[in-house]
C-alpha cells in the first residue's frame, strides 16, 4: 500500500512526513521525524511516556494515528525549551531532582505544561490527578508533584 503523505505543524514549524496508514504518531515522531524525546513505554496508553499535545490537547501519541496529524498542531518535548532557555518546568525539574532515569520525564513535562496552561493554580490533588496517567518508576512522584506546584507558583508570580 502506498504511504500516506501528512502535512502538519510540529512545535510551531511546518513539517511533512510519509507514514503507513497503521503507523502511530509516536512511530512517526521517533522514525521519519527523528524526534526521539517522546518515549515508548507501554504502547497502550498506560504510561504517558509518549505524551504530546495535539492542538493543545494532551494525548498519548502511541494511541493516535500519524495520519491524524494532518493539518493539526503537534507539540512535543523538543519544543518546550526556547533554544538554550529552558521552560520553567524543565528548570524546576532539574533543580528539584524530579527526574532520574529520564524515560518518563518528557511525558511528565509535556503533561505538566498542559496542566499549567489549563489551570495555572492547581492544588496538589489536581496535579496528582492530572499526572495519574504518567508513570514514573524512579522518583516516587513526590519530587515531580512538588516541582510542578513550585513552578506554578513562580510562573504566577512572574506573570504579575
Partner 1 sequence: MNVITNNKWIGQRTIRPDGVDKVTGRAAFAADTTMPGMIWGKVKRSPHPHARIKSIDTSAAKRMPGVHCVVTADDIRNHAASREITIWAYNDFCPPSPGCAFPQDPPPPSSSGIGYAAVWQFAQSPRRKEFTAHCPASYHKDGNCYAPGDIAHAWFLDVNSAASPDPSGGVR
CB-CB contact of 80 with 100 (8 Å): no
- Answer for which of 57, 63, 97, 120 binds partner 1 (CB under 8 A) is 97
- Beta strand pairing call for 13-19 and 4-10: antiparallel
**Between residues 9 and 36, which has the closer beta carbon with respect to partner 1?**
36
**Between residues 34 and 125, which has the closer beta carbon with respect to partner 1?**
34
Count CB-CB contacts under 10 A for residue 40.
17
Q: Is residue 40 a contact point for partner 1 (CB under 8 A)?
A: yes
**Between residues 6 and 92, which has the closer beta carbon with respect to partner 1?**
92
**Between residues 9 and 100, which has the closer beta carbon with respect to partner 1?**
100
**DSSP secondary structure string for all residues of 51-117:** EEEETTEEEEGGGSBGGGGTT-EEE-GGGTSBTTB--HHHHHHHHTT--SS-TTHHHHHHHHHHHHH
Distance, in Å, from the CA atom of 73 to the CA atom of 8, rounded to the nearest integer, reads 6
Q: Is residue 37 a contact point for partner 1 (CB under 8 A)?
A: yes
Q: Is residue 20 a contact point for partner 1 (CB under 8 A)?
A: no
Size of the site for partner 1 (CB under 8 A): 24
x/- map, 54-93, partner 1, by CB under 8 A: ----------------------xxx-xx----x---x--x
Minimum separation from the CB atom of position 55 to partner 1 (A)? 20
Amino acid at each position: 500500500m502506498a504511504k500516506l503523505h501528512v502535512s502538519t505543524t510540529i512545535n510551531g514549524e511546518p513539517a511533512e512526513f510519509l507514514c503507513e496508514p497503521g503507523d502511530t504518531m509516536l512511530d512517526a515522531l521517533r522514525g521519519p521525524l527523528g524526534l526521539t524525546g517522546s518515549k515508548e513505554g507501554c504502547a497502550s496508553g498506560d504510561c504517558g511516556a509518549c505524551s504530546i499535545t495535539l492542538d493543545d490537547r494532551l494525548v498519548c501519541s502511541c494511541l493516535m494515528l500519524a495520519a491524524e496529524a494532518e493539518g493539526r498542531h503537534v507539540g512535543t518535548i523538543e519544543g518546550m525549551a526556547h533554544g538554550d532557555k529552558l521552560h520553567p518546568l524543565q528548570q524546576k525539574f532539574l533543580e528539584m531532582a524530579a527526574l532520574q532515569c529520564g524515560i518518563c520525564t518528557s511525558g511528565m513535562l509535556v503533561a505538566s505544561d498542559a496542566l499549567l496552561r489549563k489551570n495555572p493554580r492547581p492544588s496538589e490533588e489536581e496535579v496528582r490527578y492530572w499526572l495519574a496517567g504518567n508513570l514514573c518508576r524512579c522518583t516516587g512522584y513526590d519530587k515531580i508533584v512538588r516541582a510542578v506546584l513550585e513552578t506554578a507558583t513562580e510562573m504566577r508570580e512572574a506573570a504579575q
